[in-house]
Amino acid sequence: MAILVTGGAGYIGSHTLIEVCDAGEDVIVVDNLSTGFKEAIDSRAKFLQGDIGDQAFMQRVFEDHSIEAVIHFAGSVIVPESVENPLLYYRNNTENTRQMIEHCVTHQVKKFIFSSTAAIYGMPEECPVDETYQRNPISPYGHSKSMSELMLEDASKAYDFNFIALRYFNVAGADPMGRTGQSTKNATHLIKVACEAALGYRDELLIFGSDYDTSDGTCIRDYIHVSDLAAAHLCALSALRKTAQSEIINCGYGTGYSVLEVLSTVKKVSGVDFNTRFTDRRAGDSPQVVAKCSKIHEHLDWIPKYNNLSLIVEHAIEWERKIRSSAP
Ligand code: UDP
């Protein structure tokens, strides 16, 4: 039986594909290539180009293949875009996830792994934040994922269907062997932007806010290497095979780094003292978001390999260098 991966041409999806293919699984990828890249799809997987919101197309995918589990990445992930166009997020994330769940229930696919997010916590008052903390998203993106989790919970109670929702903290880095990485255009994430600055593709990097109630006044985040996160999906698949039990699980390392600490690491690893400038706080930024990680270790046989900020940055820079040198 096959594993269906939606959004396998994207950043986290393409890294997960490598893990799942390395494990010898039979994999089908569905992606509409709206933000992903065909080259990022592992050649061992069968690729079907199409939109997960296209009911007839997805119907065929489920009818033509014997699918054991779905790993559902396809969706939209840019918070400011979700504020400008919330209905797009409610369609691409919430509505399409509802349809994916329905396809699974109709075709007796009982295992579902879902890309969720720490954005569900909004501005957590306690840090590290654990999975029992209330859902309190502050953006349409966060709401769209929060509603998806609610649907998964209700569906798992009503039907013979189980899910693991992985709540991603700040994902960064790239495949250590350089097979895939973050190729997103107009990236806004700190480590990606800082790597671009270090390689001379940005004149300066703006630091959003200097007066937060943190050790150095800048925001603190829990940065997780994308390959460790990818491995967590494979662990989630094993867990669902062992026990028919639904779970929501934080994916982070449980260590927080401030923006200034990240920037100093990028400068050190790259050897480039690029320009930075303090500016106003960015709307919607929480001072501190760090995962409590006991649950992932209790429920999944997950052994992170790259829990090291310098290594995350090193791999991100290597990938940035690679895509820039091969760009036309
Ligand atoms: N950040 C920054 N400058 C940038 C990009 C990000 O100062 O060019 C800060 C941002 O305000 C936040 C942290 O870096 O405090 C992480 O932001 P990112 O967008 O990477 O992830 P988020 O936590 O918002 O999902």
Q: How far is the CA of 160 from the centre of ligand 1 (A)?
A: 40
Q: Which atom of ligand 1 is nearest to the CA of 205?
A: 8
95-130 burial, b for 16+ CB within 10 Å, e for fewer? bbbeebbebbbebebbbbbbbbbbbbbbebeebbbe
Q: Work out the average pLDDT over 61-76.
A: 98
68 Cβ contact partners less than 8 Å away, ≥ 6 residues apart: 1, 2, 3, 109, 111
Q: How far apart are CA 53 and CA 69, in angstroms?
A: 18
Q: How far apart are CA 78 and CA 144, in angstroms?
A: 12
At residue 187, the pLDDT reads: 86
At residue 169, the pLDDT reads: 98
Q: How far is the CA of 90 from the centre of ligand 1 (A)?
A: 23
Q: How far apart are CA 76 and CA 52, in angstroms?
A: 12
pLDDT tens-digit map of 234-274 = 999 999 999 999 999 999 999 999 999 999 999 999 999 99
Q: How far apart are CA 233 and CA 321, in angstroms?
A: 27
Residue to mutate (ligand 1; options 127, 259, 281; most atoms within 8 A of CB): 259
Going by C-alpha positions, the residue among 110, 99, 7 that lies closest to residue 55 is 99
Q: How far is the CA of 193 from the centre of ligand 1 (A)?
A: 9
Q: Work out the average pLDDT over 51-78.
A: 97
pLDDT at 165 > cutoff 90:
yes
Query: Looking at this predicted complex, what is its ipTM?
Result: 0.98
pTM of full prediction above 0.90: yes
At residue 51, the pLDDT reads: 98
Structure tokens of 89?
A: 């997020």
pLDDT at 208 > cutoff 80:
yes
pLDDT tens-digit map of 115-161 = 999 999 999 998 999 999 999 999 999 999 999 999 999 999 999 99
At residue 328, the pLDDT reads: 62
Active-site residue list: 141
Residue 162, beta-bridge partner list = 111
190-204 burial, b for 16+ CB within 10 Å, e for fewer? bbbbbbbbbbeeeee
306 Cβ contact partners less than 8 Å away, ≥ 6 residues apart: 173, 176, 225, 227, 228, 312, 315
Q: Which atom of ligand 1 is nearest to the CA of 219?
A: 15
Q: Which residues line ligand 1 (CB under 6 A)?
A: 170, 188-190, 193, 205-208, 219, 221, 259, 282, 285
Q: Work out the average pLDDT over 3-29.
A: 98
Q: Work out the average pLDDT over 286-311.
A: 97
Q: Which atom of ligand 1 is nearest to the CA of 262?
A: 14
Name the pLDDT band for 184 (thresholds 50, 70, 90). Answer: confident
Q: How far is the CA of 143 from the centre of ligand 1 (A)?
A: 19
